[in-house]
Amino acid sequence: MNAKVETQFLNTTAYSQLNQQQAQEILEKAQNYAAENELDFTGSLTPQEAWQLF
């Protein structure tokens, strides 16, 4: 049952395929956030952004 819920979740329009430019914009936003907040890692993604890039 759990796998079925996850499959339905991933098939929503919010997680549709990205083009290269959209993916690059998400990554740049994450890198800028990390630089502005002096984080010890390359970037920070929201769960939604991570799924979009997946």
Task: Return the pLDDT at 16.
Answer: 57
Q: What is the pLDDT of residue 43?
A: 81
The whole-angstrom separation of Cα 30 and Cα 43 is 4
What pLDDT does 1 receive? 43
Among 47, 2, 8, 3, CA closest to 26: 47
Instruction: Give the pTM.
Output: 0.61
Q: What is the pLDDT along the chain (54 residues), one digit of tens a residue?
A: 444 444 444 444 444 577 899 999 999 999 999 999 998 888 888 899 988 888
